[in-house]
């Protein structure tokens, strides 16, 4: 009985620490995203415009609007090839120095980036997930 009590005590002592550590990290990351949004308004890349930037759980969500003429090429935009992933990492890097600082944090926190593509005048059609390793390889 004493052993069970000790185990329960140990569990309740340890668990809140684990939980609060995760919360602190999420809050830090969310505030980093908010700071990035506030200080680095992103309008457009060469052929796409950023329409939203947020976090959901562990993932960073980025929604990009593409011209309607690219809409039919969603499978090319989201092809799971290293070259296409490099293209998107390069596009995101064009957001500037603040983004690069953000990426460092992204890699440290091991967060994936989920890019959603919406053709102008259409619904979300496709997505691609970039892992921290995709940013490390650049």
Tell me the C-alpha distance between 123 and 135, whole Å.
Answer: 28
The 45-84 site mask, x for binding other proteins (CB under 8 A), equals -xx-------------------x-xx-xx-xxx-x-xxxx
Cα-based distances in Å from 132 to 20, 43, 71, 106 = 24, 24, 27, 7
Element (H, E) at 72: none
**Is residue 14 involved in binding other proteins (CB under 8 A)?**
no
Query: Using an 8 Å Cβ cutoff, are 97 and 45 in contact?
Result: no
**Is residue 138 involved in binding other proteins (CB under 8 A)?**
no
From the CB of 126, what's the least distance to other proteins, in Å?
12
Q: How many CB atoms lie within 10 A of CB 58?
A: 13
Tell me the C-alpha distance between 108 and 99, whole Å.
Answer: 14
- In terms of CB distance, is 29 or 134 closer to other proteins? 134
- In terms of CB distance, is 34 or 76 closer to other proteins? 76
**Is residue 22 involved in binding other proteins (CB under 8 A)?**
no
From the CB of 79, what's the least distance to other proteins, in Å?
4
From the CB of 77, what's the least distance to other proteins, in Å?
7
- In terms of CB distance, is 73 or 116 closer to other proteins? 73
Tell me the C-alpha distance between 2 and 10, whole Å.
Answer: 12
Residues that bind other proteins (CB under 8 A): 46-47, 67, 69-70, 72-73, 75-77, 79, 81-84, 86-87
């Amino acid at each position: 009985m004493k052993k069970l009590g000790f185990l329960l005590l140990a569990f309740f002592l340890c668990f809140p620490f684990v939980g609060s550590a995760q919360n602190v990290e999420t809050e830090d990351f969310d505030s980093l995203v908010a700071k990035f949004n506030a200080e680095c308004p992103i309008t457009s890349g060469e052929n796409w415009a950023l329409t939203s930037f947020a976090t959901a759980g562990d993932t960073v969500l980025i929604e990009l609007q593409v011209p309607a003429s690219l809409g039919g090429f969603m499978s090319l935009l989201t092809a799971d090839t290293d070259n296409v992933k490099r293209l998107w990492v390069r596009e995101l890097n064009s957001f500037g120095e603040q983004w690069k600082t953000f990426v460092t944090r992204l890699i440290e926190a091991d967060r994936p980036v989920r890019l959603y593509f919406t053709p102008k005048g259409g619904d979300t059609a496709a997505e691609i997930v970039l892992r921290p390793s995709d940013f490390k390889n650049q």
